[in-house]
Chains A and B, each alone.
Chain A
Amino acid sequence: MFRFITQKIGNKLLLTFIVILVVVMFIEISFRIYFGLPDRLKIADESNKEIMDTIFATIKHPLTVGDSETIHRDLEEIASKYTKINVYLCDFNKQIAFSTDNNSINKKIDTVIDNKIFSEIITEHLAGNSEASISKVLKVQGKRNLISILPIKNSPECFHCHGSSKNILGAMILKTDVENVYLTVQAQMYRSLTLTVFAFLLAIVVINFVVNRLIKKPLHILIEATERFSKGEMSTISNYPKDEIGTLCETFNCMVNEVAKSKMELEKELTRRARLLEEREELVALLQKANQQLKELDILKSSFIANMSHELRTPMNAIIGYTDLLLDEVDGPLNEEQKASLKKVAANARHLLQLINDVLDISKIESGKIEIRPKEVYLKELIYEIIVTFEPLLTKKGLTFSLNIEPGAEKLYIDEDKAKQIFINLISNAVKFTNQGGITLKARVSERGKDSEGNPQFVEISVSDTGIGIKREDLDKIFDKFAQADVSTTRQYEGTGLGLSIVRGLVALHKGMVWAESEYGKGSTFYLLLPFKKEVFERPGPVTEEKMAEVLAQYFEVPKEVFLQNPTYEGKLVRCWDYTQCGHVNCPEYGSSEKRCWLALGTHCKGMKICSYPEKTDSCRICEVVRDLVLHQEPAIKEVSESSNKEKVVLAIDDNPDAIDLIRKYLEKDYKVIGILNSEEAAKKAKELKPVAITLDIMMPKKDGWQVLKELKSDKETQNIPVVIVSIIDNKTLAFSLGAADYFVKPLDGHSLLKKIKSIETYRAVKKVFILEKDETTVKDLLNVLKQTGYDVSSTSNSKEAIEIAKNYKPDLLIVNITDPDTSAYDFIDFIKTSVELKDIPMIALTDKELTDEQKDVLNGRIKEIINKSLFSEEQLITELKNSLKKIGGIS
């Protein structure tokens, strides 16, 4: 009820009005009663008095003279004039002498006006105790009457009859019926109440109408609109009044418009973002695919390099060898001209060899195939070792060589072979371009590349010459491939143009740097930074340099501590921060303004190269690649569990060793991958190794994958081994028709491959075999074969013993000859099948003759395979047994 009121504003207003109305009415009625009645009584009283005075004046004289007739007449006159008024004249004995009511004459006044109070008052008056006239409302015969008493005093003119002893001779009593005065007041009160109720009802109706019209209706519109709005409908309010609620509606409309506008914008933005996300995902997928292809290409490239190396060097062997033999005059003397020509052949062949070596070197550096094995190396000894080979040339050109190693720079921590290559390149360049003067090699502890505590880690080595020098504009180019400063110098000064590129690559591998200063025409100096601290190479996964961590943190919007302390990002191991400086003088690590990424060289992310060589890439792009390719890869932390699964062999047939390597990497957690490069050996190997699965390439020299597959599937021994094709060509139809288990098109998705192999490989290892067989030759043969294949074998010829052995030995497979003269073999089988521990062990039955139907019935359900020895030769028997083993092994 109260809720009904409190929840509706109209009801609240109504209630307030009603309360006010009730209060006002109550006050009005109270006033009417409080003030209205006395007023009216007063009027009646006054008219009584007036009448009394009039009557008294009229009858005074007759009274005095005793003219009763006149008095009666006068009173009758009054009675006819005032119907509601009774006048009584009584003497001091209360006896009524005259009256307008003739019936009451001679009666006692207090019997006529039967009221206790009145009789007291009249007694008092007539006793002469009170002379004043008095008026009082008294109830007489159930009716209210205004009774006025006027004592009639004794006066001289009355003495002649009444004497002077009495003060009061009698009293005139006027009885006026005032019942109707009360009734009038009551009637008025009722009228007021009726009015109140009427006003009340009117007020309800009017207020309700007003509230409805002015407040409720507009409010309801507003509420409806708000509800619609809350449901997401963006409709405005069209009809609204011009008052405060109207203002509210207007405001609401404004709000709706604003919200609708921003909602629309938001939706637009959302669509835009979704599109961006899609595009980004596409891009990531594309990049991932590209990355995969790059990996494949990388493998191809490295195998190409290896092959190139071999293929180019083989003919060089013959060219140089035979030329030298001729020059040595093994086949007889040569004339000078022939000799000179042959020397040119030899020199050019050697140059070609150098070129080949350099190209291979640079390829290896670029593809990240070079590893360095740093150790402590004494610089002085290293330089002496090198300079010996240059001595003849130095002497010939009349050049000096001086070495100046400052304290602290004696020992380096470098790869000796690579360092030699670096110094040979630099010194040979110096010697080559210097015709007079000399070459100086200086070494001192460098101020550059200090560790986080400010301790130096690098030695700065300079190789200066007094040669032709390098033009300023060429200084930056000289480290690029095939860039001798001046094209003309290539002719003049023989060289491959790769030397300095190799130097830069090798120095970078040492996390150092190389740069050159030169004054054209006066000489050049090449500076190197090489480490002398082991720690340079022991950089942990995360970045340890503040500056780099800052750059990365800024890019990934994470605190730099992430990269300084913890090598993970979003739960993924970030390994790519094992970086080196690019080895270029403009590396930002050393405060250069040129944007050249120092993440580049040797940057591997989970084995993936971001960039293999300090190319001119700015850091941002690399970071982007890092983010998309590296950070989106699955968690790098994997448990390396050494399980028995390792025993499972997967045979990978591919003419490319690196492709096999890749498959091995994908599967090595669960399988031992044995690779075969020569497809002709595939079938043989498959028989030998009994792999759980085979991966097979198609494009192979000599024998292609299709032939291998046909061969595998036509041989009883290998036909059950699942073969997964992994090839660059896509011909699934042919593959499946030939019996392949699955087909993967390169680039290979390692995860899918592993998953596939796992699903098709249901090999359950049979390791222990128990044989019950009386024929010694068969036992011997079986033992031989099974032990060779790697099974643990136990045997007996006694059925009773067999039970005991089987219980203790717990074999994975039983081979039982059931053609015993007695039926003990059947007893053994029955025992096995009732034993809780042994009943699930598969059994192969050997027989010497065809089984009877009865025997077959007995064995039915207990034996996996029955082999009739008499049907096979010894060799065939073994093959048959192997097949059975394989079937039981579970290969589907």
Chain B
Amino acid sequence: MKRILIVDDNDDSRELVKKILKKYDYEIIEAIDGEDAIAKAVTYRPDLILMDISIPKIDGYEVTRRLKARPDFKTISIIAFTAHAMRGDQEKAFASGCDGYISKPINVREFPEQIKVYLKEK
């Protein structure tokens, strides 16, 4: 079973993702801030991390950078998952080490497919 870590400080956002992915066979782990995200990521070693950028304590870019600095996280997909849709946000995400980018609001119908693709890629 693939393990997905959802990092988002907005409860509704996390719930929504969980609900969309409910019928698929994933193990979902949640983190609510940057520190939590690093701790959970290191503990659970998920296959995919959906990383919101604007999160408390340590921001998503920094979390990604720190995780990607570890050799054991090189192969784990970190997908920027953010409502920041300004030009440059995407580039910043990739620059910090993200492997993909899904902007909010998400498209409910396409979202599972996107997740599937990112999981398969690695």
Contacts and interface: CB of A to CB of B under 8 A. Distances in A.
Given A321-B105, A330-B19, A330-B22, A309 B83 contact: yes
Interface stretch (B9-17, B40-48, B65-73, B113-121): B9-17
Contacts of A322: 12, 16, 19
A312 to B, nearest CB: 8
B12 A310 contact: no
Interface in B75-122: 82-87, 103-109
The secondary structure that dominates the B interface is: loop
Nearest to A321: B16
Contacts, number: 74
Interface in A234-273: none
B84 A325 contact: no
B85 A324 contact: no
A309 B85 contact: yes
Contacts of B108: 320-321, 324-325, 328
Interface residues of B, number: 23
A95 to B, nearest CB: 165
A92 B86 CA distance: 167
Interface in A516-555: none
Contacts of A319: 105
Interface in A146-180: none
Interface string B4-33: 000000101100100110110000000000
Interface in A292-314: 305-306, 309-314
A316 interface: yes
A820 interface: no
A47 interface: no
A353 interface: yes
B50 to A, nearest CB: 12
Contacts of B105: 313, 316-321, 353
A370 B104 CA distance: 20
A371 interface: yes
Nearest to B22: A330
A713 interface: no
Contacts of B86: 305-306, 309, 360, 364, 369
B19 A314 contact: no
Contacts of A314: 10, 13, 83, 104
Q: Taking chain A's interface residues, is the majority helix, strand, or loop, or is none over half, making it mixed?
A: helix
Interface in A663-699: 678
A317 B107 CA distance: 9
A312 B109 CA distance: 21
Contacts of A311: 83
Interface string A367-381: 001110000000000
A369 B88 CA distance: 11
A370 B87 contact: yes
A322 B19 CA distance: 9
A330 B23 CA distance: 9
A318 B16 contact: yes
A441 B47 CA distance: 48
B30 to A, nearest CB: 15
Interface residues of A, number: 28
Contacts of A371: 87
Contacts of A353: 105
Contact of B109 (A306, A315, A318, A324): A324
Contacts of B57: 678
Contacts of A321: 16, 20, 105-106, 108
A256 to B, nearest CB: 75
A313 B83 contact: yes
A821 B109 CA distance: 81
A317 B16 contact: yes
A310 B84 contact: yes
A313 B106 CA distance: 10
Given A330-B19, A330-B22, A317 B109 contact: no
Given A314-B104, A353-B105, A370-B87, A325 B16 contact: yes
Contacts of A678: 57
A369 B16 CA distance: 32
A328 B111 CA distance: 13
A220 B10 CA distance: 103
Given A317-B104, A320-B108, A325 B20 contact: yes
Nearest to A364: B86
A371 B85 CA distance: 14
B106 A317 contact: yes
Interface in A341-397: 353, 357, 360, 364, 369-371
A890 to B, nearest CB: 33
A313 B16 contact: no
A321 B108 CA distance: 6
Most A CB contacts (10 A, CB to CB) among B20, B83, B84, B105 go to B105
Contacts of A324: 107-109
A595 B23 CA distance: 63
Contacts of B54: 310
B39 to A, nearest CB: 18
Contacts of A316: 83, 104-105
A693 to B, nearest CB: 24
Contacts of A325: 16, 19-20, 108
Contacts of B16: 317-318, 321-322, 325
Contacts of B23: 330
A318 B12 contact: yes
B45 to A, nearest CB: 27
Contact of B13 (A306, A312, A317, A369): A317
A364 B85 CA distance: 12
Contacts of A310: 54, 82-84
Interface string A326-338: 0010100000000
Question: Which of A320, A321, A322 has its CB near the most chain B CB atoms (within 10 A)?
Answer: A321
A360 B103 CA distance: 15
A320 B83 CA distance: 13
B6 to A, nearest CB: 13
Nearest to A702: B56
A319 B87 CA distance: 24
Contacts of B103: 313
A250 B104 CA distance: 95
A486 B83 CA distance: 34
Contacts of A306: 84, 86
Interface of A: 305-306, 309-322, 324-325, 328, 330, 353, 357, 360, 364, 369-371, 678
30 contacts: A306-B84, A309-B83, A310-B54, A310-B82, A310-B83, A313-B83, A313-B103, A313-B104, A314-B13, A316-B105, A317-B83, A318-B12, A318-B13, A318-B16, A320-B105, A321-B105, A321-B106, A321-B108, A322-B12, A324-B108, A325-B20, A325-B108, A328-B109, A330-B23, A353-B105, A357-B85, A364-B86, A364-B87, A369-B86, A678-B57
Given A314-B104, A318-B13, 20 more contacts: A305-B86, A310-B84, A313-B103, A314-B83, A317-B12, A317-B83, A318-B12, A318-B16, A320-B105, A320-B106, A320-B108, A321-B108, A322-B19, A324-B109, A325-B20, A328-B109, A330-B19, A357-B85, A369-B86, A371-B87
Interface of B: 10, 12-13, 16, 19-20, 22-23, 54, 57, 82-87, 103-109
List of 5 A-B pairs having minimum Cβ-Cβ separation, nearest first:
A313-B83, A324-B108, A317-B105, A317-B104, A318-B12
